[in-house]
């Protein structure tokens, strides 16, 4: 059964990479095959679906679909562009930093759902390709999410099991993120910033825009701003409140649907349902490998390969989790590694560095491929919907090198801090 689960996973990945089969079809087909071959029962397949993630996705997509009708995104986009004086590189830098900061406190998917449409709107005004802006936001969302306890699901899991608090993450992973983000922004400038050329008249046209004119429904905009604040607080304190993040997202969406008084059918159609189905299928495909013990074997192999050397184990966990998280959902992998690290701690090993290696590797690894993290898939879907598809290979050329660079910086950071 292990061979079957791995074979199905490889075939699904191959279909996605080749782009000859739509990724949603490939993922759902993989899940169906695993059930048909009895690698998973129907109940087991359903059990591996992360409904918290699915709930956050649906809830925030509905929420954003309502907010979008107020003109808020266009307002913020124009305001940001005017702050940057219409300079495309400054706009990219501003949006990148905004995405990273928001991702440290909000769910990454929520952040890209809020900031992504801004980039598309402002690049449309400037008449330039939005894809570099969206790629930068994808990378920034995963880097920023690494900085705090609540920024990414693996950090929440690690903090809970290791007894690490919000400040612990800010001091450790947060410090690394500041360095990584600085270097990555320099790379963005070298890749895109130096080549961005916009006619002076278009920059002047941006400066002459009246952001207030973009507001189509002032009442809805006020409600949206208030609710965005509520969402931020909800995601920030949902752990303390004992409420799952999906409840925050779905409750916020429900409230916006009620008070927004928009066409419900139109709003529902605004949800990226193909993305929802893709994640559903992918959870089942990865669950097949978890059910058959493949992920556990991979985790054990990382530990055994080091021969008990804590420093080598730290580096191996960092790179192993990063590379695997580029293709696998990082949540099952982190869930497998946590008990392994706890068992080493019980044997007397100081595992402090291992927790940070696992966090940095699992979170930053999401930048490696287009399917490495939820934000990647969601924002690429939004980009395609607006006529700017981002292919797997196109993303790989940017995302994978940036992931390797960020993990290399993390390696140096951890070695200096814990060697």
Location of structure tokens 């402090």? 352
* Structure confidence at residue 347 as a pLDDT band (50, 70, 90): confident
Q: What is the pTM of this model?
A: 0.76
Would you put residue 328 in left (φ > 0), alpha (ψ -120 to 50) or beta? Answer: beta
What number of other Cβ atoms are within 10 A of residue 206's Cβ?
Answer: 22
Q: Are 376 and 112 in contact (CB under 8 A)?
A: no
Using the predicted structure, report yes or no on whether residue 299 has a pLDDT greater than 70. no
pLDDT of residue 402: 97
CA of 181: how far to CAs of 97, 99, 174, 214, 228, in Å? 8, 11, 10, 32, 25
Quick: pLDDT tens for 23-46.
889 989 999 999 999 999 999 999
pLDDT at 339 over 90: no
**Which letter does DSSP use for residue 308 in this model?**
T
Of 369, 398, 379, the C-alpha closest to 130 is 379
* Residue 332 pLDDT greater than 70, yes or no: no
């Amino acid at each position: 059964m292990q061979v079957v689960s791995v074979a199905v996973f490889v075939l699904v990945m191959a279909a996605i990479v080749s782009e000859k089969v739509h990724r949603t079809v490939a993922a759902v087909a993989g899940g169906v095959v695993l059930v048909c071959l009895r690698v998973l029962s129907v109940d087991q397949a359903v059990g591996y679906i992360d409904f918290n993630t699915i709930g956050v996705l649906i809830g925030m997509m509905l929420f954003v679909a309502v907010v979008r009708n107020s003109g808020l995104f266009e307002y913020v986009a124009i305001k940001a562009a005017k702050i940057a004086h219409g300079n495309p590189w400054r706009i990219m830098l501003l949006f990148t930093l905004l995405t990273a900061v928001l991702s440290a406190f909000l769910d990454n998917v929520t952040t890209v759902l809020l900031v992504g449409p801004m980039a598309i709107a402002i690049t449309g005004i400037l008449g330039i390709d939005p894809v570099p802006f969206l790629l930068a936001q994808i990378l920034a969302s995963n880097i920023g999410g690494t900085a705090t306890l609540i920024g990414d699901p693996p950090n929440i899991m690690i903090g809970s099991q290791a007894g690490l608090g919000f400040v612990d993450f800010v001091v450790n992973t947060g410090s690394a993120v500041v360095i990584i983000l600085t270097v990555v922004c320099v790379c963005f400038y070298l890749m895109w910033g130096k080549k961005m050329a916009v006619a002076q008249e278009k920059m002047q046209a941006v400066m002459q825009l009246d952001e207030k004119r973009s507001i189509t429904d002032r009442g809805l905009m006020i409600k949206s701003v208030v609710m965005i604040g509520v969402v931020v607080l909800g995601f920030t304190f949902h752990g303390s409140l004992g409420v799952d993040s999906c409840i925050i997202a779905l409750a916020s969406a429900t409230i916006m649907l009620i008070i927004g008084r928009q066409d419900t059918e139109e709003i529902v159609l605004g949800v990226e349902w193909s993305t929802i189905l893709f994640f559903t299928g992918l959870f089942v495909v990865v669950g097949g490998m978890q059910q058959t013990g493949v992920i556990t074997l991979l985790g054990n192999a990382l530990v055994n390969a080091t021969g008990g050397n804590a420093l080598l184990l730290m580096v191996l966990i960092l790179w192993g989790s990063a590379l695997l998280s580029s293709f696998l959902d990082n949540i099952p992998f982190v869930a497998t590694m946590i008990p392994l690290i706890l068992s080493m701690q019980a044997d007397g090993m100081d595992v402090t560095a291992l927790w940070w290696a696992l966090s940095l590797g699992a979170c930053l690894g999401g930048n490696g491929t287009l399917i490495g993290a939820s934000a990647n898939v969601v924002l690429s879907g939004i980009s395609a919907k607006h006529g700017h598809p981002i292919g797997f290979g196109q993303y790989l050329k940017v995302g994978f090198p940036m992931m390797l660079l960020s993990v290399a910086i993390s390696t140096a950071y951890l070695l200096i801090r814990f060697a």
